[in-house]
Chains A and B, each alone.
Chain A
Amino acid sequence: MKKILVKTKIQKLTACLLLAGMAFTAVSSVFASPEQDRKSIIEYFETRFVGIPLSEYANGVYAYDTVGRESWEAIEEFPPYEIAIEKGQTMWETPFANGKTYKDCFPDGPAFADQYPRWDKKQAKVVTLPLAINQCREANGEKPLKYKKGSINDILAYIAYESRGKKTHVVIPEGEPGALAAYEDGKKFFFTRRGQLNFSCATCHIQNAGNRIRSDNLSPALGHTTHFPVYRSKWGAVGTLHRRFTGCNKQVRAKPFKAQGEEYRNLEYFLTYLSNGLELNGPGSRK
């Protein structure tokens, strides 16, 4: 009995030391708090694009792509994502086989997109809106939806549309080392070069934001998350943020990660945090 106690004490001590070590490396390798990161990146964009108000970044690349903006505004007059919103509303209102609805899972819904992504203490991981939707479905005996294409985009489009006007406010709860570690992990992902072409997310979407790659204007990281799910002409459909991540990774010739896997959820946590204060205006449309 005593022996076992001693053992668990040692285990606890090791765990504590490990945690402290992790926290230390996290802090020592970046020297910055999430709020310092956000401010530094905002400052960068303010210097790079003088005179563009911060709130404009909710419009993504059209904050500074004046040529593209005209055709974008024309498209938005007859939004290609309207059908998705309608289908999503039907999904929201149609009860599951057990008689319950999405509203039973999400009492604040349907206008609750601003609550995600968030750190879930119980699950000890970042929970995104698509993940929460599938957890709700599975808890009610329904099949989970696919994470990149298909009807998940309908329900997301409806929730995004109902949440328009709310502001991004990702919280990294204090006293939750796991939450900060998830943020740091997403940040590291963002700044890490990968793939045969050796680009990081930041290479294009911070360092070269506003420059053209061939004839495409590169979008700013600031505001990347405000308008998802997004109708892309290239896709001819509405798609999720993680589908877009997949596309980006493939373009730099890196093997993409799993949609809603830890890598992309943590990346979403970091990326959405950067947009704190920006208005949610999804679903959006892009080239």
Chain B
Amino acid sequence: MKLAIKLLLIVVLGFTSTVILAAASDKAAQDAIAAADQARKKAASVKGEWRDTGKIIKQAEQTRKKGDFDKAIKLANKAERQGKYGYEQAMSQQTLKMPSYLKY
């Protein structure tokens, strides 16, 4: 009897600490998603946004709402990198360089 209560207490304790940890990573997920959206917008500002970046951010948001913060952060980071790549891709071509196969 005593042991059962103890065990229950332990499980409850374990669960609460997980929840506390989880609460902390919800904030982290929100931050990651915000950063991703900022990167996406920056790419869009130079007409360099990629097709799936917005979708990945939405997925991250849905995953976050379901409580899977680690996966949400992973998705958000992926979207953020896409935003960066799209921005750099556009910026590296700010000055038009005509391909060499066209002769003038």
Contact = CB atoms under 8 A, between A and B. Distances in A.
Interface stretch (A8-16, A49-57, A190-198): A190-198
Interface string B34-76: 0000000000100111111110000000000000000000000
Contacts of A263: 47
A123 interface: no
Given A253-B52, A254-B50, A187 B96 contact: yes
B98 interface: yes
B103 A43 contact: yes
Contacts of A254: 49-51
A30 B96 contact: yes
Interface stretch (B12-20, B22-30, B87-95): B87-95
A194 B90 contact: yes
B102 A29 contact: no
A43 B102 CA distance: 8
A107 B86 CA distance: 45
B104 A31 contact: yes
Interface of A: 29-32, 36, 40-41, 43-44, 187-188, 191-196, 198, 202, 206-207, 249-250, 253-257, 263
Contacts of B95: 29
B96 A194 contact: no
Nearest to A207: B101
B51 to A, nearest CB: 4
B interface, by DSSP: helix, strand, loop or mixed? loop
Contact of B99 (A30, A191, A196, A253): A191
Interface of B: 44, 47-54, 82, 85-86, 89-90, 93, 95-99, 101-104
B51 A41 contact: no
Nearest to B95: A29
B54 A255 contact: yes
A192 B93 contact: yes
Given A253-B51, A254-B49, A207 B90 contact: no
B104 A255 contact: no
Given A255-B49, A255-B53, A29 B96 contact: yes
A256 B47 CA distance: 10
B88 to A, nearest CB: 11
A44 B103 contact: yes
18 contacts: A29-B95, A32-B98, A36-B104, A44-B103, A187-B96, A191-B96, A191-B97, A191-B98, A192-B90, A193-B89, A193-B93, A194-B86, A194-B90, A196-B50, A196-B82, A249-B51, A254-B49, A254-B51
A202 B98 CA distance: 10
Contact of A207 (B44, B53, B93, B99): B99
Contacts of A41: 102
Nearest to B51: A253
A111 B52 CA distance: 41
Contact of A40 (B44, B52, B104): B104
